[in-house]
Chain A
Amino acid sequence: MADQSWAKHVADVLRRNGIRMFATVPDYIVGCVLDELWADPECRVVTTTREEEAVGLLSGAWLAGKRGALLMQNSGLGNCTNALASLNMASLIPVVLVVSHRGDLGEFNPAQVPMGRAATRILDALGIRWIRPTSIAELEQQADGLIKLCYVSSQPVAIVLPSELTGGKKG
């Protein structure tokens, strides 16, 4: 049974690294993080219709001086791959990706499995550094350093959220 405070830890690590601008195409898992952010009057959360729109929006926000994070499911990573490659990687525009990992341990939906298998390989193919903490302790140990790396390298990074951390989605 996952410790349900994981979502607050994710929200806190983003906020304590100066991120106040968020864009999302929600899913059940990142929705738990969004509940924390929506409750915080200092945070601006924009719900977009598609993940690559969120990449564009957060890239604009960065050019306007705001740090941003994109909360989505790994299926959405497929929807925004070209934008991450041709805009963020090519022009050095940083963004923190928070990606729920469906299609892995405990998955009930066969449709999720192929993208579940591909998710971290897509990040590797793009050259995006990622972490995949399986506990709150691992999250706390790695996430601050990852976000620091995002802005020092001026490139996207990803926090992948596995079912071991979040409890996943029960069918």
Chain B
Amino acid sequence: MSRLTRAGATRYLASRVKNEVLVSNLGQASLDLLAIADRPLNCYTFGAMGQCSSIGLGIAIGRPDVRVICLDGDGSLLMNLGSLCTIAAEAPRNYVLMVWDNEVHQTTGGQATATAKKASLVGIARGAGIEKGIEVRTQDELARAVDRVLKEDGPFIVVVKVEKGPSTAPFDQDLIGQASRFRKALAAL
């Protein structure tokens, strides 16, 4: 069975969301989301390495009426594992942490991360106190996980094992414009 790709999983998730906020991690996750499914309710984060899950947590706490889905990477989440403890402690029901886990630091040249060896992000999240953890390897599993996170209370962590490989999408330098557009779109929701 072929592995999921980050771009394919991004395309599928984007086809399922309506008024949900998507918060994408710097580098690959943001480049793919920007190219495949740009929309005002996307929050691209090109700064603050490691902080995607925390930025999404702040949005979820600030707007408990809106479901927030973070698209993090394995390297970035490994840099901010304490965030899992804070997510569990605050336990926002509208919060989903999805991780594109390709087991490498893709943006810096594909060096292996700890998930290529022993570490399980779902296992670490369980230890931190996030009880709803799902590991996804196939399209069917991804579809079932998305069904659950769109209707069931969180917090969730969904670790999606994806193929290695860099995004081919272009970078948009207008970070100020992206943040401003997102803030206005969320305020209008």
Stretch of B40-48, B108-116, B134-142, B151-159 lying at the A interface: B40-48
> How many chain A residues touch the partner (CB < 8 A)?
32
Closest to B61 in A: A61
Asked if B80 lies at the interface with its beta carbon under 8 angstroms from chain A, I say yes
> Which residues of B sit under 8 angstroms from A46, Cβ to Cβ?
61, 86, 90
Closest to A23 in B: B58
Stretch of A29-37, A50-58, A103-111, A140-148 lying at the B interface: A50-58
Picked from A55, A61, A65, A91, the residue with its CB within 8 Å of the CB of B179 is A91
Stretch of A9-17, A80-88, A117-125, A131-139 lying at the B interface: A80-88
Picked from A50, A64, A65, A82, the residue with its CB within 8 Å of the CB of B49 is A82
Q: How far is the CA of A53 from the CA of B76 in the complex (A)?
A: 12
Q: Are A86 and B62 in contact (CB under 8 A)?
A: no
> Which residues of B sit under 8 angstroms from A59, Cβ to Cβ?
48, 51, 55, 58
Closest to B175 in A: A91
- For window 56-91 of A, CB contacts with B under 8 Å fall at 56-66, 68, 82-83, 85-87, 90-91
Give chain B's interface secondary structure class.
helix
Q: Are A90 and B47 in contact (CB under 8 A)?
A: yes
Q: Are A21 and B50 in contact (CB under 8 A)?
A: no
A53-B83, A92-B179 known; A83+B51 contact, CB < 8 A: yes
> Which residues of B sit under 8 angstroms from A92, Cβ to Cβ?
176, 179-180
Asked if A44 lies at the interface with its beta carbon under 8 angstroms from chain B, I say yes
Asked if A5 lies at the interface with its beta carbon under 8 angstroms from chain B, I say no
A46-B90, A53-B54, A91-B175 known; A63+B186 contact, CB < 8 A: yes
A53-B82, A87-B48 known; A65+B183 contact, CB < 8 A: yes
A55-B51, A83-B48 known; A48+B175 contact, CB < 8 A: no
Q: How far is the CA of A53 from the CA of B171 in the complex (A)?
A: 25
Asked if A93 lies at the interface with its beta carbon under 8 angstroms from chain B, I say yes
A63-B43, A64-B186 known; A53+B62 contact, CB < 8 A: no
Q: Are B59 and A21 in contact (CB under 8 A)?
A: no
> Which residues of B sit under 8 angstroms from A66, Cβ to Cβ?
62
Q: Are A82 and B186 in contact (CB under 8 A)?
A: no
Asked if B23 lies at the interface with its beta carbon under 8 angstroms from chain A, I say yes
Q: Which residues of B contact A (CB under 8 A)?
A: 23, 43, 45-63, 80, 82-83, 85-86, 89-90, 175-176, 178-180, 182-183, 186-187
A sample of 8 cross-chain residue pairs with beta-carbon separation below 8 angstroms, ordered by A number, consists of A56-B52, A56-B53, A63-B179, A87-B48, A90-B47, A91-B175, A92-B176, A92-B179
